[in-house]
Amino acid sequence: MKKDLLTLRDLTADDCEALFERSFELKKRDADGSSDRTLQGKTLGLIFDKPSTRTRVSFEAAMAQLGGTPLFLNAQDTQLIRNEPIADTARALSRYLDALAVRTYSQDLLNELAAAASIPIINGLTDLYHPCQVLSDLMTILEKKGELENLKIVWIGDGNNVAHSWLNAAAILPLHLVVSCPKGYQPDEAILVAAVSDTKGKIHVISDPKEAVRDADVIYTDVWASMGQESEHGLRKKFFQPYQVNQRLVAKAKPDVIVMHCLPAHRGEEISADVLEGAHSVVWDQAENKLHMHKGILEKFIMG
């Protein structure tokens, strides 16, 4: 029976542990110059109908480096653009591919595709979630801090797709997660309530960003207007200004706080240029770890 990665709720804590372990091993083997060809003869399709630099390239490189073949499909170049039903697309592509990574707007559409497909479907970002991002971010926190428990991880900014995946992560792993968002831009209530009810850690919503980051081990932010929300950018800037991750805010966290951003970043908006480029920032290692985690994800979902 094929398994999908549509949200982090598709994984257990044990699944996450195994993914971290294997991804670190793959990273080490990469650094040693060893090559694993575990996906030789396999093909990964990628259908993206939003832009992507990191997710697309790291999945494509991961597949190629493991001996498999990535096949990128711009959604605009497929029959989807001429209204071929998503279920028909899913069934046809399942006859050619071993897995499909998808970046699209609607989580419902992704779920529909997964229900019709007989191959694993991997969520490469929707309006609602970005699960692969948060898996590699957790790997980065483990790498920098040596643990996930006993850390205060603070989300600052929009209660968006990445924030939702952080809530899902806190639902399955014993994290201490604080979410700090402007009024009206908080995470989806149902996702928040479910995470609070299921977590073995702690989830707090603290709207004042200065209070939220007090003694933080990790500060994480993301753009104020996500893909598809470009027309709201001007309005959002007004509400989000106090949530900028800058030197003043970072100074309230622990002295060894790490600052994370999934990228792309808008310097001078959600994060100041000096913080993004400063000593606390781990964003480039964070971006690199997408490659290693995506290798782990592809092995797990393609090989079982």
Q: Which chain residues interact with ligand NVA by CB under 6 A?
A: 125, 160-162, 222-223, 226-227, 262
Choice between 52 and 94, CB closer to ligand NVA: 52
Residue pair 180/245 in contact (Cβ under 8 Å)? The answer is: no
Site string for ligand CP, 241-280 (x = CB under 6 A): ---------------------xx-----------------
Residue 263, phi then psi, degrees to nearest 5: 70, 150
CA distance 269 to 246: 10
Contact between 53 and ligand CP per CB under 6 A: yes
Taking the complex as a whole, how short is the minimal distance between the CB of residue 136 and ligand NVA, in angstroms? 12
Helices and strands (H, E) in the chain, number of each type? 12, 9
Nearer to ligand NVA by Cβ, of 61 and 227: the residue is: 227
**Least distance from ligand NVA to the Cβ atom of residue 14, Å:** 27
Which strand (E) or helix (H) includes residue 73? strand 69-74
- Residue 104 interaction partner, one of ligand CP, ligand NVA, none, beta carbon < 5-8 Å per kind: none
User: How far, CA to CA in Å, does 118 sit from each of 1, 10, 230?
Assistant: 8, 17, 35
**Closest alpha carbon to 233 in 124, 158, 148:** 158
Q: What's the Cα-to-Cα distance from 150 to each of 142, 174, 179, 199, 215, rounded to whole Å?
A: 12, 9, 17, 14, 12
Q: Which of 52, 221, 244, 272 is close enough to bind ligand CP by CB under 6 A?
A: 52
Q: How far is the CB of 137 from ligand NVA (least distance, A)?
A: 11
Q: DSSP code of 96? A: T
Three-state secondary structure call for residue 220: strand
Residue facing ligand NVA at closest CB distance:
226
**Of 25 and 285, CB closest to ligand CP:** 285
When CB distances are held under 5 to 8 angstroms depending on the partner's kind, the choice from ligand CP, ligand NVA, none that residue 47 binds is: none
Which range binds ligand CP by CB under 6 A, 50-58, 94-102, 111-119, 179-187? Answer: 50-58
- For ligand NVA, give the closer residue by CB, 23 or 52: 52
Q: Taking CB under 6 A as the criterion, which residues in 126-145 touch ligand CP?
A: 133
Contacts of 196 (CB under 8 A, 6+ apart): 203
Among 54, 176, 280, 292, binds ligand CP (CB under 6 A): 54
Q: Does 74 interact with ligand CP (rule: CB under 6 A)?
A: no
Smaller CB separation from ligand NVA, 226 or 272: 226
d(CA 251, CA 138): 23
Q: How many residues are recorded in the chain?
A: 304
Q: Both ends of the chain: CA-CA distance in Å?
A: 9
Binding mask 7-46 for ligand CP (x = CB under 6 A): ----------------------------------------
Task: Report which of 146, 209, 152, 147 is spatially closest to residue 176, judged by C-alpha positions.
Answer: 152
Q: 188 and 107 in contact (C-beta within 8 Å)?
A: no
Q: Which does 222 bind (CB under 5 to 8 A by kind): ligand NVA, ligand CP, none?
A: ligand NVA
Measuring CA to CA, which residue among 295, 298, 304 is closest to residue 28? 295
Residue ranges that bind ligand CP, judged by CB under 6 A = 52-56, 125, 133, 262-263
